[in-house]
Amino acid sequence: MTGATAVSGLLAAEVPYWASSIIKLGVVALVVPTAALILGYVFLMKMMSFMQSRLGPMEAGPYGTLQLLADGLKFLQKEDIFPDKADRTVFALAPLVVLISTFLIYVVIPAGPDAVVAQLDVGVFYALAVSSLSVVGILMAGWASANKYALMGGLRAAGQLIAYELPLVLAVMGVVIQAGTLDLQKIVSAQATGEIFGWGGIGNPFILTQFAGFFIFLVAVQAELTQPPFDMPVAESEIVGGYQVEYTGFRFLFFFMGEFGTAFAFGALASVLFLGGWALPWGDLGHWGFNIAGPVIMLVKVLAVSALIFWFRFTYPRLREDQLQRLAWKFLIPLSLVNIVVTGVFKVVL
Amino acid sequence: MTASGTDQRQQLAYVAAQAADARLNVEIETEGMTLNIGPQHPATHGTLRLVARLDGEQVVEAEPIMGYMHRGYEKLAEVRTYPQITTLINRIDWLGSFANEVPFILAAEKLMEVEAPPRAQWIRTALFELSRIANITLFLGDMAVQLGAVTPVFMAFRDREFVLNQIEAATGGRFHPNFDRIGGLKDDLPRGWIEDTKQAMEKMRNFCDEFEELVLGNEIFQARCRGIGIVPPEVGLAYGLSGANVRASGVDWDLRRDGQEALAYDQIDWRVWTHPDGDSFARYWVRLQETREATHMVDQLLDGLPPGPIMAKVPRIIKVPGGEAYAATENPLGEMGYYIVSKGDLVPFRVKIRSASFSNMSITPWLLKGVYVPDIITILASLYFILGDIDR
Amino acid sequence: MSSTETGADAEAGAQPDRRREDWADKMADALGEGCLEHHIIPGSDLWVRVTRDSWTGAATAARDRLGCAFFDWLSAIDWLPSPYGRDMDAQEDNPEPRAAGATEQGYAGGETRFQMVMRLYSVTDHLGITIKADLPDGDLSIDTLIPIFAGANWHEREAWEMFGIRFNGHPDLRNIYLPGEFEGNPLRKDFPLLARRVKPWPGIVDVELFPGEEDS
């Protein structure tokens, strides 16, 4: 079931296990920085600039496209600074933990019938589980920095990420009930082959039936990504970057890549769960051509979702910690429970 | 009119809360944490330092520490001639510099018993309001960025430029005009300035409308500001709060209307905005309304500009007769006044600078008790201080 | 209690400032012997000089009887003529230090070198009052105003570091601007402005031409 990768599918040849593992590793290792670059450039640099009536970076590369690469190079050249009283091992490991959690999400995200690293039966469960690993890294960073701002940021992040893990999972439950599976590939095909009241013209993207779920998912993702209006863990004007405050150079780069890589991954998850993923509702899903068209279709959908996420980010002020918790426990969780109940009832009745 | 009534009630509630916390602390053995905010911190836009003792995210007590930017203007003014002093005091509130010069010049004019000709007074008033707009515009954007919304501050910078351009066109200085003279102004307005300024005012009105929706209308902004940092009017006055900070507490007092200085405010039609709530939201609201009001005031001032000279007859070498005078105006940040003691010399004998931010900030130890860390930022931003205005 | 009226008053004569006179009377009434002198410039301002012991009483009276709820500011004046001259322009200044001559106090008089000044304002009547009090040279201390106006706290700390005036009952009399270990009181007239002592000010009196005026 997991034998074929995108590349091996294209080559239509059996590759040994070790080779396919290396290829998969290479693909994921390439996709994460690329994803971070794309989101960073398109949204952080350009969209934000245009919203704020400025041009953004224009010098490095045509239209500033290489700015992030230049920034990355700059970060790599910087001195690797450890605070005097920091817990060195934990301090050094923290960004890696965050980054690894990002890498792990990509393992199950399908971009074509065969273009997936590992097709797990419990894909949804796995993706949501590993995404919350980053909390550990953030707590480590906050604690090991030996800085009060970092500690407060780390604690805020922990409280926030745990609180929003719940609506995130509950929002997805509706989709899982409707598709009847936890497997992301099957969720994609369920949407592509589904019908709306007997009409299958556009399949059945779950955003139509699970609109409440999509809304809750987006809000929870925003909180998971610690982006405004939920960016208290890094709030620059209060705790000066929170857990990131002591990080410099390539360790900071890891956090940056983790943040944007995760944003991309959540965008991909949202498009798989709610927007039909890589598939188009017409055509044979098993066709090998989808291994090439799939990633493009995915990219378009991911950018659409990310545009929404970043639009919030650049527009809204930030909530206070207690208001954030109130929103999660008193509004989002009850709403998602209602959503599950309604979905369940419909599932049984129809 | 007892300042202590509300004070005491708050203190009692605070003590009770502390007692409850203390019991809890004995049980679970937690200690407070001292958080040092500043002198270099994004929220202090300048070099204010705030030492806060925290219990979790709650502030037990907070104390601002100033002086990182103290420049000793009161001493320096004692060795400078009157025309030279305006250069110094321009740098007190550096966002609305022109407004700093006016009360000093007015105090000196009081001592010399000269009065600027009407045209100079009208232009002075117009430039005064322009610097108010330039100053408050930045506050309107900055408060949003303190609360985490990055975009408004760029819009504020963008539109503030229209006003700065007009100030520069008239005075030659974007930030430090140094345009006021004892007895009038340095120059008349350049040609075409009035038309350009009216266009700029139109743009600023659009800016105000935009911010009314973008910031004031935002639910999160309201959730962060409403009920945060409530200043009861009598407490505010006892702490010396002035300007929009007390008007947001419902005190109907504006030195532009109520003061006795020789400016053209009594000859145009405008109103004083107040808000009954006294919280951070009210302070933002009042400032936004005042900015819009100021654009209308500038329009009227330019329409009714009287002809005539812009300089009264004053000697070339200015010796100010002995005496004492205090002149205060309603500056963007609040009441700014100069108490000048003269002994009939080329230089003042003593200049006491009453700057608004110093008094406005003195309420912070009282106001910050028991709030959450994010509310510190809201309260500091909404009280609106400029470091140069605190430290002088 | 004596009262001085200025020449300006005599000129404006026909229009004595009833409201400010009324205020001065109320203060005199409230303080009795504590109120020493007052001075009115009609249509402009009111000065009242009180004894050191009536300092807090004057603040209370102004707040309760005159309705001055707004604490404007508090500071001090050092009436000693500067022993250094102005160190500024050679045309005007004495190069050698002046002998500390007779000190000459301002409106509402004064007897000693240091004088406290506070200004209170009524936001309902839109009138202000400047209250002064002399400090004896040997004992530069006065009661704190914090129980009456909480805002006096920082102003008193500033007066403490700038003039060395001690405020009895102030809970936290630390330097507010200067570093803790700073020596001297910068706003005293005998505190040299070192920058001016080591290097003479290059800008002699500069007089700008008025618009349209030719340079002669």
pLDDT of A11-55, one tens digit each? 445 677 887 788 878 877 787 788 888 888 888 888 888 888 888
What pLDDT is attached to residue C15? 62
What pLDDT is attached to residue C43? 76
| Closest chain B C-alpha to A147 CA, distance in angstroms | 10
Q: Domain C2-198 belongs to what topology?
A: Beta Polymerase; domain 2 (3.30.460)
The span from the CA of C25 to the CA of C40, in Å, is 12
C95 touching B (Cβ < 8 Å): no
Provide the residue-wise pLDDT of chain B in tens; the chain has 392 residues. 444 566 777 777 777 777 766 665 555 555 677 777 777 776 666 677 888 888 777 888 888 888 888 888 888 888 888 888 888 888 888 888 888 889 999 998 888 888 888 888 899 899 999 999 999 998 888 888 888 888 888 888 888 889 999 899 988 888 888 888 888 888 888 888 888 999 899 999 999 998 888 888 888 888 888 888 888 888 888 888 888 889 998 888 888 888 777 788 888 888 888 888 888 899 999 999 999 999 999 999 988 888 888 888 887 777 788 888 888 898 888 888 899 988 877 788 888 999 888 888 888 888 888 888 888 888 888 888 888 888 87
B343 touching C (Cβ < 8 Å): yes
Tell me the CA distances in angstroms from C165 to B67, C146, C160, C188, one per residue in order.
Answer: 19, 15, 5, 11
Mean pLDDT for chain C?
76
The span from the CA of B112 to the CA of B182, in Å, is 9
The span from the CA of C76 to the CA of C160, in Å, is 9
Domain ranges of chain C: 2-198
**Nearest C-alpha in B relative to A51:** B151
Contacts of B380 in chain A (CB under 8 A): none
Residues contacting residue C100 through CB under 8 Å, at least 6 positions apart: C80, C81, C83
Contacts of B377 in chain A (CB under 8 A): 237-238
SS3 label, residue B64: strand
- Return the H-helix or E-strand segment holding C127: strand C127-135
**Nearest C-alpha in B relative to A313:** B149
ipTM for the complex shown? 0.80
Contact B149 A237 (CB under 8 A): no
Residue C97 has pLDDT above 70, yes or no: no
Contacts of A315 in chain B (CB under 8 A): 149, 151
What pLDDT is attached to residue B6? 64
Band of the pLDDT at A197, cuts 50, 70, 90?
Answer: low
- E strand map for chain B: 33-37, 49-55, 58-65, 180-181, 184-185, 323-331, 334-342, 350-354
**A112, A278 contact by CB (below 8 A):** yes
Amino acid at B208: C
What tokens does B87 get? 């250069």
- B377: Cα separation from own chain's centroid: 18
Q: Looking at the DSSP assignment, which residues form a beta bridge with residue B50?
A: B37, B64
CA end-to-end span of chain C: 54
**Nearest C-alpha in C relative to B75:** C187
**Nearest C-alpha in A relative to B40:** A240
Tell me the residue range of the domain where A24 lies: 3-349
Contact B238 C47 (CB under 8 A): no
What pLDDT is attached to residue C5? 43
- What are C34-91's pLDDT values in tens digits? 788 888 888 788 888 888 888 888 888 888 888 888 888 899 888 877 776 655 444 4
Contact C186 B7 (CB under 8 A): no
B160 touching C (Cβ < 8 Å): no
A241 touching B (Cβ < 8 Å): no
**B148, A316 contact by CB (below 8 A):** yes
- E strand map for B179-228: 180-181, 184-185
The span from the CA of B22 to the CA of B31, in Å, is 10
**What does the angle CA C123 – CA C46 – CA B90 come to, to the nearest 5 degrees?**
70
Residues of chain C numbered 101-140 and touching chain B (CB < 8 Å) = 104, 106-107, 117, 119, 123, 126, 128, 130
Nearest to A186 by CA among A104, A282, A276: A276
Contact B220 A316 (CB under 8 A): yes
What's the average model confidence in pLDDT over A270-288? 78
B316 touching C (Cβ < 8 Å): yes
Q: A235 or A327, which is more confident?
A: A327
The span from the CA of A321 to the CA of A18, in Å, is 47
Pick the range with the lowest mean pLDDT from A1-10, B51-60, B321-330, C98-107. A1-10
A137 touching B (Cβ < 8 Å): no
Contact A238 B33 (CB under 8 A): no
Nearest to A275 by CA among A185, A188, A172: A188
**Nearest C-alpha in B relative to A324:** B220
φ, ψ dihedrals at B246, nearest 5°? -90, -30
Contact B350 C44 (CB under 8 A): no
| Closest chain B C-alpha to A156 CA, distance in angstroms | 10
As for how many domains chain A has, the answer is 1
Residues of chain B numbered 234-273 and touching chain C (CB < 8 Å) = 234-235, 237-242, 246, 251, 253, 258-260
- Return the H-helix or E-strand segment holding C132: strand C127-135
C94 touching B (Cβ < 8 Å): no
Residues contacting residue B55 through CB under 8 Å, at least 6 positions apart: B21, B30, B32, B33
What pLDDT is attached to residue C3? 43
Nearest to C31 by CA among C57, C49, C63, C52: C57
Closest to B75 (Cβ–Cβ): which among C123, C154, C186? C186
A46 C-beta neighbours (distance < 10 Å), count: 18
C73 touching B (Cβ < 8 Å): yes
**B89, B104 contact by CB (below 8 A):** yes
Band of the pLDDT at A10, cuts 50, 70, 90?
Answer: very low
Reading phi first (left if > 0) and then psi (alpha if -120 to 50, else beta), residue C192 is in beta
φ, ψ dihedrals at C179, nearest 5°? -60, 155
Closest to B220 (Cβ–Cβ): which among A236, A240, A317? A317
What pLDDT is attached to residue B286? 92
Q: A289 or A111, which is more confident?
A: A111
What pLDDT is attached to residue C95? 46
| Closest chain B C-alpha to A321 CA, distance in angstroms | 8
Contact C150 B366 (CB under 8 A): yes
Q: What is the pTM of this model?
A: 0.82
What pLDDT is attached to residue A62? 84
What pLDDT is attached to residue C9? 40
Band of the pLDDT at A78, cuts 50, 70, 90?
Answer: confident
Closest to A240 (Cβ–Cβ): which among B42, B221, B372? B42
What's the average model confidence in pLDDT over A295-314? 86
Report the 3 state secondary structure along C39-102. EEECCCEEEEEECHHHHHHHHHHHHHCCCCCEEEEEEEEECCCCCCCCCCCCCCCCCCCCCCCC
The span from the CA of C194 to the CA of C210, in Å, is 34
A153 touching B (Cβ < 8 Å): no
| Closest chain C C-alpha to B187 CA, distance in angstroms | 7
DSSP state of B321: P
Contacts of C203 in chain B (CB under 8 A): 84
The span from the CA of B165 to the CA of B171, in Å, is 10
- Do B and C make contact, counting contact as 3+ CB pairs within 8 angstroms? yes
The span from the CA of B363 to the CA of A188, in Å, is 60
